[in-house]
Amino acid sequence: MRYATPEPFEVPMPSTAKILQAVQGLLKCPTLTETLNELAQAAGMSRRSFTRHFRRETGLTFAHWKRAVIAHYAMERIASGHKVSSVTFEVGYDSVSAFISMFRRKYGAAPRAFLVRHSGRYLRNS
């Protein structure tokens, strides 16, 4: 974990209108419950076509992109004063430790430690 490279803050967006439209709900309130099959169907595509186009447009697999969207959303919620535990369950994780582990892999630190370290960018109410 110490040698892991934190991922960037930005989340690349798909460029195809029907794919972007399919993921709009996920962007507003991301959770682990949205499935690839549901989004592919919403885009009017097969799962295989959706994943192929999605990766070409974003540079990420759908699973990596979805985790990035969830982590970014969670970071904003925590920075605005919500408890890590409430955000954990809001985005669909079953345990705080699993959520913190995902966040740590993505950003190199637990949510609160990350926000303190990057307070100029994210903390609003501290």
The DSSP letter of residue 14 is: -
CB-based contact 53:14 (threshold 8 Å): yes
Count: domains in the chain = 1
Domain enclosing residue 33, as ranges:
17-117
DSSP calls for 26-79: HHHS--TT--HHHHHHHTTS-HHHHHHHHHHHHSS-HHHHHHHHHHHHHHHHHH
> Residue 120's pLDDT is what?
56
Instruction: Indicate which CATH number applies to the domain containing 21.
Output: 1.10.10.60
**61-106 residue pLDDT tens:** 999 999 889 988 998 898 898 999 999 999 999 999 999 998 898 8
